[in-house]
Amino acid sequence: MTESTPERPVGMTAVRTTTPGAAAARARQVRPATEGWTQQKDAEGRPLLQFASPKRGKPPVHLADLTHDQRVEKMKELGLPGFRAGQLEKHYFQHYTSDPAQMTDLPASDREQLVTGMLPDLLTEVRRLETDGGDTIKFLWKLHDGALVESVLMRYTGRITLCVSSQAGCGMNCPFCATGQAGLTRNMSAAEIIEQVVRANRLIADGGLGDPRKVGHKDERVTNIVFMGMGEPLANYARVMQAVRTMVDKKHGLGMSARGITVSTVGLVPAIRKLAAEDIPVTFALSLHAPDDLLRDELIPVNSRWKVDEALDAAREYFEKTGRRVSIEYALIKDMNDHAWRADLLASKLNERGSGWVHVNPIPLNPTPGSIWTSSDVDVQNEFVRRLNEAGIPTTLRDTRGKEIDGACGQLVATEEDQAAAASA
């Protein structure tokens, strides 16, 4: 840390210093290893990291790919008055429709041209799975080039959350995450990201997440976005931020609150610092999963580029620049990263950087196909949480929704069954 590192505030509970030196502790240390699949490696035998998107055909340009001024110019290119852009924005972002028949305020002769030129089809729904009494829905989408992505819609008391994908596949190659097993197919466009939200809002408006007249109100919609679906959001930085700007644009976009949008990363430090400078107060989440470099190098391959302390320093800087408390995501994996001494080490590292800037969300590991890894025992999980809270780190065990339909964190992946279904969609 730098010389400006805040000291631990007076009265904060000291962290017990424990180490994994005991033979019993060492015996319980499971090393990360893939099960049922082979991790891609580079020429030097290290886990392959894919930061650049493979070159594939680009999706058609969509209204949500453009700024308002660009939309006006596009209208003029189509031989239509520029003010039609505002009308089309209202239909798409407020009424969640691309159906020309519903655009009765537009001249009938212009509607098909407008929709064809500005609202091309981006997502084809292949499959929809429900659980939690209909409060959790997972969508499988086929993109224009056949790539498959998933998003998950979840109703909670007082809010509706959509977990969106930002890439088809993922290039971060984390061995415990199903999404990264096939590598990165390509980045998604800003409009493909936004379309997931618009389609979810359309379903809600039609009563597909329970009857709004009974469980909410007639105008309810997605209130919270988490970039925790397929992909590493900060590896698709420009398009993700373009989508975020459209989400928060109250005049020409979805008009959402930036505080209801969470952008997560496994630790791309330069991009974290860039995000902090955007002046958009989204919630930032760091997927840490281990407080020590020895384990995190294996568990999160990008740790070979930017170490634990570098990622935490960048996270602290995000808090300092935005005033927004950072979330630390931590998947608890039995006998791998759930040791009491690791809870103490995590607490120590966070407290070294001050108080009031961070919240830890431990998550019981969600199983993935072919893996023998499993979530921590309940007593171990509770002890991990207790130690963090006792050390003054606000910690809340996160609810895992959608496990039954492989829709929980780390489970999103296009299976062979999905591919077969998509072929006929």
Give the mean pLDDT of 189-217: 86
pLDDT grade for 368, boundaries at 50, 70 and 90 = low
The predicted model gives 131-148 an average pLDDT of 92
Give the model's pLDDT for residue 100: 94
More confidently predicted of 417 and 229: 229
The mean pLDDT of 350-373, rounded to a whole number, is: 86
pLDDT at site 214? 58
Which region among 34-43, 129-138, 227-236 has the lowest average model confidence (pLDDT)? 34-43
**Pick the catalytic residue: 89, 150, 195, 232?**
150
For residues 32-50, give the mean pLDDT. 86
Whether the pLDDT of residue 34 is over 90: the answer is no
Instruction: Out of 180-184, 194-198, 207-211, pick the least confident.
Output: 207-211
CA 410 to chain centre: 10
174 as an active site residue: the answer is no
Of 366 and 392, the one with more pLDDT: 392
Asked if 103 and 369 count as a contact pair (C-beta separation under 8 A), the reply is no
Alpha-carbon distance 153 to 138, whole Å? 6
If residue 26 lies in a helix (H) or strand (E), which one and from where to where? helix 23-27
Residue 161 parent element (H or E): strand 159-163
Average pLDDT over residues 194-199: 98
Q: Is the dihedral of CA 89, 94, 100, 103 positive or negative?
A: negative
**Region of poorest pLDDT, from 83-92, 210-219, 344-353:** 210-219
In this structure, are residues 187 and 243 in contact, taking their beta carbons and an 8 Å threshold?
Answer: no
**pLDDT grade for 131, boundaries at 50, 70 and 90:** confident
Which residue reads 């492989």 in tokens? 406
Structure tokens at 368: 């993935």
Amino acid letter at 292?
D
Range 381-393 burial, b when 16+ CB lie within 10 A, else e: bebbbebbbbbbb
How confident is the model over 299-349, as pLDDT tens digits? 999 999 999 999 999 999 999 999 999 999 999 999 999 999 999 999 999
Structure tokens at 285: 């989440």
Calpha distance 201→93 (Å, rounded): 9
CA distance 7 to 355: 9
Q: Tell me whether residue 163 is one of the annotated catalytic residues.
A: no
**Rg of the chain taking only CA atoms, in angstroms:** 22
Residue 160 reports pLDDT greater than 80: yes
| pLDDT tens sequence across 246-265 | 999 999 999 999 999 999 99
240 vs 422, more confident = 240
Mean pLDDT score of the chain, rounded to an integer? 87
- CA-CA distance, 423 to 425, in Å (whole number)? 6
pLDDT band at 369 (very low <50, low <70, confident <90, very high): low
Residue at token pair 């339909």: 405
Longest distance between any two alpha carbons in the chain, whole Å: 78
What is the pLDDT, as a whole number, of residue 36?
A: 73
Cα–Cα distance between 100 and 296 in angstroms, integer? 51
Q: Which member of 163, 174, 177, 409 is catalytic?
A: 409
Residue type for 330, please?
Y
Q: Say how far apart CA 418 and CA 425 lie, in whole Å.
A: 10
Q: Is 183 helix (H, G, I), strand (E, B) or coil?
A: coil
pLDDT surpasses 50 at 169: yes
In this predicted structure, what is the pLDDT of residue 15?
A: 45
At residue 321, the pLDDT reads 97
Kindly state the DSSP code that residue 252 receives in the 8-state scheme.
T
Task: Say how far apart CA 258 and CA 247 lie, in whole Å.
Answer: 8
Q: Which residue has the higher pLDDT, 218 or 391?
A: 391
Model pLDDT, residue 12: 35
Q: Which of 8-17, 236-245, 277-286, 395-404 has the lowest mean pLDDT?
A: 8-17
Q: Find the range with the poorest average confidence among 29-38, 57-66, 97-106, 202-211.
A: 29-38
Q: Measured between alpha carbons, how far is 323 from 314 in angstroms, rounded to an integer?
A: 14
Q: Strand pairing of 159-163 and 167-169? A: unpaired
Percent of the chain exceeding pLDDT 90 equals 69
Residue 115's H or E segment, with its range, is helix 108-118
- pLDDT, position 366: 74
